[in-house]
Chains A and B, each alone.
Chain A
């Protein structure tokens, strides 16, 4: 099984019950983080922005990892992000094709890093959704919505079948031809 860089957690927490408020509002958030600890930390970060609660006077009721239900089918994921650039804050909507949501989120972080130099700490995921093929907006995603898809792989990367066979010099010129 592929080891995901960013795992999805469901975190449920609330303010500790007090005399004034014996049944505080319970909040549930879905976070993507490398591990549970970071997920919980981000949970408090976001919850502090919603109401007057911090980790010291709050309690986490549940932490569950969310796994992909159908990792053998390809889905189109739409991810709404808010990210800090060098000069301001922006919202973005990005689409990815992947078999799992964790994979799509990983793609998103990679792409944001490469295209906008936005690091993980500068990105917040607002929303994620599985988008139907008809509703996809990005042409680089919709180009794969073809049940009769067919394209060649024009150049073959010539490499040894295992790193054991890797040598600096080869006896003959490799052929990268592919037909």
Chain B
């Protein structure tokens, strides 16, 4: 089956290693088979190795080495960052981040709620098992 998430100018990528983990960038140009020039509206354009990033499904229509204003406009019009956050992948990332940022009370409540839920499920399952 052909590859869909290709490296191309305008492809939205997510960083999977290092200090910028989880951030979305846009490929502005390809240096060579290992590196690309990535860009974000609030950061200076820089090179990044493909090993540090993963391609997403999203792509914006920008020219090669697009200026910041052009990039910003394209991102706002297509609303790609918001679309990513609404996608399953984006939601999973958000859940992971929320879980990592829980405070002690929230973690306690999460455990309590999990126990309550599993107790209900188990009760219903056992009832069904008995009647079967």
A74, A154, A159, A161: the one contacting B37 at CB < 8 Å is A74
B80 proximity list for chain A (CB < 8 A): none
Interchain CA distance A27-B46 in the complex, whole Å: 36
Per-residue interface assignment for chain A, residues 144 to 159, with 1 indicating a CB less than 8 Å from any chain B CB and 0 otherwise: 1001111111101101
Q: How far is the CB of A57 from chain B (nearest CB, A)?
A: 45
Are B8 and A150 within 8 A (Cβ)?
Answer: yes
CB-CB under 8 A for A151 and B31, given A72-B46, A157-B51? no
Are B54 and A179 within 8 A (Cβ)?
Answer: no
B6 interface residue, CB < 8 Å from A? yes
Interface members, chain B 26-81 (any A CB < 8 Å): 29-33, 37, 44-47, 50-51, 54-55, 63-65
Interchain CA distance A156-B9 in the complex, whole Å: 19
Interchain CA distance A127-B17 in the complex, whole Å: 37
Interface size on A, residues (CB 8 A): 22
Are A152 and B3 within 8 A (Cβ)?
Answer: yes
Which partner residue on chain B sits nearest A147 by CB separation? B64
A106 interface residue, CB < 8 Å from B? no
B4, B17, B46, B50: the one contacting A161 at CB < 8 Å is B17
Are A178 and B5 within 8 A (Cβ)?
Answer: yes
A99 interface residue, CB < 8 Å from B? yes
Point out residues on B near A: beta carbons under 8 Å.
1, 3-9, 16-18, 21, 29-33, 37, 44-47, 50-51, 54-55, 63-65
Point out residues on A near B: beta carbons under 8 Å.
72-74, 97-99, 144, 147-154, 156-157, 159, 161-162, 178-179
